[in-house]
Amino acid sequence: MSDEEIDRKIAVIFATDVVGYSKHMENDESGTVKNLRACEKILIKLFKDFKGRLFNTGGDSFLAEFPSAVSAVECAVAFQEAIQERNKADDTRVKLEFRIGINSGDVIKEKDNLLGDGVNIAARLEALAQTNGITISKVIYDYVKGKTKYKFNDLGLQKVKQNEFHAYDLLLETSQKRKIKNDRPVSRFLMATVFAFLIGLGSYFYLISLSEDVPQQAFTKIGSRAAVSSQPVILVYPFEDLGASETRGDFSAAFTESMISSLSRYSRISVLSSSTSMDAKTKAANDASIKEMYNADYVVRASIQTFSDQSRIQMQLTDLKLNTVIWTDKVDFSAAQIFEVQDNIGDKILTHLQINAVDGSEVKSWAAKYGTAERLTLFLNSRNEWFKFTPDGYNNHSRIIRLLEEQMGENNPALYNIKGWNLFLKRAVGLAKDLEKNSAEIIRLSNSDVAENQDVTAYILRALVEFRLGSKDCDLSKEYAQKAYDLGATVDTFIVSGTIWVECGDLKEGTQFFEKALRLQPNDSGWNLTKRLIPMYYLSGEYSKIIGLVEPHIDAVDIAPEMLAFYAFSINEAGDTDMAKAILNRAKKLGVSKKSLERVIRDPDNTTEFISRLSSIGTID
């Protein structure tokens, strides 16, 4: 690329991250993530108030640019004050603290991202800052002195490898005044981590994190062990750095953290924490041990070898159930390409998992429709929200659509399908106030989808619309379903076909459609298919099939309470009344109700009958 093609500018860069984030995650993973989201909302609002633009994030770290140094400093002060106020509240479960660094300098604009020394020094100033503190460069100090009411402490000239910068602490309180030796070393490990973790993840993780109040991974921790759940569990083994002795370990931690964050963008898999990864390395765990100790389904392993400015990374993804390497890749890159390589490899592994571990080959057609790995993962996460069948799921699904509209255009035909399903969900959870208007818009979108796209997803939507809101004619609805099948035997094709056939009176063939869907989908994340298939076995009197379907997953921490209710009924029919009562009590503690059962049985009379037949072992409200 020639110099003329590089888009350069001077920018004010604001960098912040959470102090001791890994320790917080180790102590309370769920509480840390929830509190980080709350802090992120505060930060995003302040960025908007002070005209800042978030251009990069790495989960617990954020990079923004501002139109002026004064705006950036005022925003930093407001954020630290807001966080301290929040931490004083008794109901703040995890009290997160932040460091902030601010610099102004020359940067390179790459799409929406910013790169270069101006960003790098802001990150180093952030690493230099105290807990709850703000550290700025001299150029920022020169801009804001006399224009703000704040006092500053001169830290003198700081040198980190090839960069020298004069730093100042902004004194929010006098106790923050300190002295730092000018020649204090900053480890290469810290440099690699700051660069790779703050910058290398790109805007991708930010988009995914905003797409929803990201649901907690469906597993709990027992030490370093993940409990069995419906989601595939991934362990990223710490990358092995084969570089020269003076560089060994530099890239390893950065790449490991980056890969964990990259895979965590997808809400239908469970990625074990970095502390668990380190635990596996400390124990020198082989693949069999990783499967046994951490209940992992997949492990990512890699090595990095560096000679001068050139590096080679070799990676593999192993399916621990099959005890087989199912994906490998080798990439050569220079130091300047490190962030591009991280994103590229993360996207490749993520797409492989999406296809082969969770959603199946249909992902390939969705990938073509949405064009980029970012948008594909947004779409797949939206499906996870849709299948929750709750008002929160609808709201999260709607947020993802708005993000896709921002990237693809509000009237992009590729979005007709997801918008149609969104309105279906709105109606199903009782949020559609004008049902006539809702119906008309769903019909319009389904007709437009078929006219514009004529693919599997278009005809599946059209089939269900015809059945639920259009003519409600079984034969015509089946014709659309058949057109979808002719274009590809997908999970969604079988789900919608099964629904139509069952409700049109053909329980046997409808059940077979759902059985095919379950076989075709690599992993039934959230038990969405299992919950629909079990009531069909109940209506057919095939109670042994219910036992066979549920029993292997009886210890899963995210097991659906409706599954347990049908399992309790079935084993009671088989004569184990005491166990049936215990299982039904577990289902009740997990929240089974008449309403939740009706959602899976899909018929009020059959639901009432089922609850009545359960009454010999317990009642359900």
Question: 14 and 143: one domain?
Answer: yes
- Distance CA(482)–CA(487), nearest Å, equals 9
User: Average pLDDT, stretch 46-52?
Assistant: 94
Domain that holds residue 306: 223-359
User: Average pLDDT, stretch 72-85?
Assistant: 95
- Distance CA(123)–CA(129), nearest Å, equals 10
241 occurs within a structural domain = yes
Is residue 32 over pLDDT 90?
A: no
**With pLDDT > 90 as the criterion, what percentage of the chain qualifies?**
46
**Amino acid letter, 554:** I
- Distance CA(74)–CA(213), nearest Å, equals 28
182 occurs within a structural domain = yes
Question: 17 and 140: one domain?
Answer: yes
Question: 17 and 159: one domain?
Answer: yes
pLDDT value at residue 219: 34
Task: Report DSSP letters for 315-329, one per residue.
Answer: EEEEETTTTEEEEEE
Question: 102 and 10: one domain?
Answer: yes
Residue 282's alpha-carbon distances to 26, 237, 294, in angstroms, are 16, 11, 14
pLDDT value at residue 209: 40
438 occurs within a structural domain = no
Output the average pLDDT for the chain.
83
Question: 8 and 138: one domain?
Answer: yes
Return all residues near 1 (Cβ < 8 A) that are at least 6 apart: none
379 occurs within a structural domain = no
pLDDT value at residue 186: 38
Is residue 252 over pLDDT 50?
A: yes
496 occurs within a structural domain = no
532 occurs within a structural domain = yes
Is residue 206 over pLDDT 50?
A: no
Question: 234 and 168: one domain?
Answer: no
509 occurs within a structural domain = no
More confident residue, 193 or 82: 82
More confident residue, 559 or 127: 559
- Distance CA(14)–CA(69), nearest Å, equals 9
Question: Any bridge partners for residue 164, and if so which?
Answer: 159
Is residue 604 over pLDDT 60?
A: yes
Is residue 477 over pLDDT 70?
A: yes
More confident residue, 225 or 120: 120
Question: Any bridge partners for residue 271, and if so which?
Answer: 234
User: Average pLDDT, stretch 583-590?
Assistant: 94
User: Average pLDDT, stretch 313-329?
Assistant: 86
Question: 168 and 261: one domain?
Answer: no
Is residue 269 over pLDDT 80?
A: yes
Residue 6's alpha-carbon distances to 1, 202, 255, 299, in angstroms, are 7, 19, 27, 39
Domain termination site, one of 359, 392, 412? 359
- Distance CA(262)–CA(239), nearest Å, equals 15
- Distance CA(511)–CA(500), nearest Å, equals 11
- Distance CA(497)–CA(491), nearest Å, equals 10
Burial environment of residue 58 by CB neighbours within 10 A (0 to 12, 13 to 18, 19 or more)? buried
Question: Any bridge partners for residue 29, and if so which?
Answer: none
Nearest alpha carbon to residue 350 among 321, 323, 324, 381: 381
Is residue 217 over pLDDT 60?
A: no
Question: Any bridge partners for residue 512, and if so which?
Answer: none
- Distance CA(614)–CA(546), nearest Å, equals 15
Domain termination site, one of 344, 359, 374? 359
Is residue 506 over pLDDT 90?
A: yes
Question: 598 and 539: one domain?
Answer: yes
Whether residue 102 contacts residue 69, with contact meaning beta carbons closer than 8 Å, is answered with yes
Question: 238 and 188: one domain?
Answer: no
Question: 231 and 194: one domain?
Answer: no
Is residue 586 over pLDDT 70?
A: yes
* Pairing outcome for strands 53-57 and 61-66: antiparallel
Is residue 304 over pLDDT 70?
A: yes
Question: 309 and 188: one domain?
Answer: no
User: Average pLDDT, stretch 110-122?
Assistant: 83
More confident residue, 407 or 204: 407
CATH number of the domain that 166 lies in?
Answer: 3.30.70.1230
User: Average pLDDT, stretch 560-570?
Assistant: 96
Domain termination site, one of 359, 393, 412? 359
pLDDT value at residue 243: 60
Tell me the pLDDT tens digit for each residue of 163-199: 678 899 999 886 677 766 544 433 333 334 334 333 3
Domain count across the chain: 3
- Distance CA(177)–CA(416), nearest Å, equals 58
User: Average pLDDT, stretch 288-292?
Assistant: 89
216 occurs within a structural domain = no
Question: 193 and 227: one domain?
Answer: no
Tell me the pLDDT tens digit for each residue of 133-145: 999 999 999 889 8
Whether residue 167 contacts residue 138, with contact meaning beta carbons closer than 8 Å, is answered with yes
The token duo for 296 is 């992992």
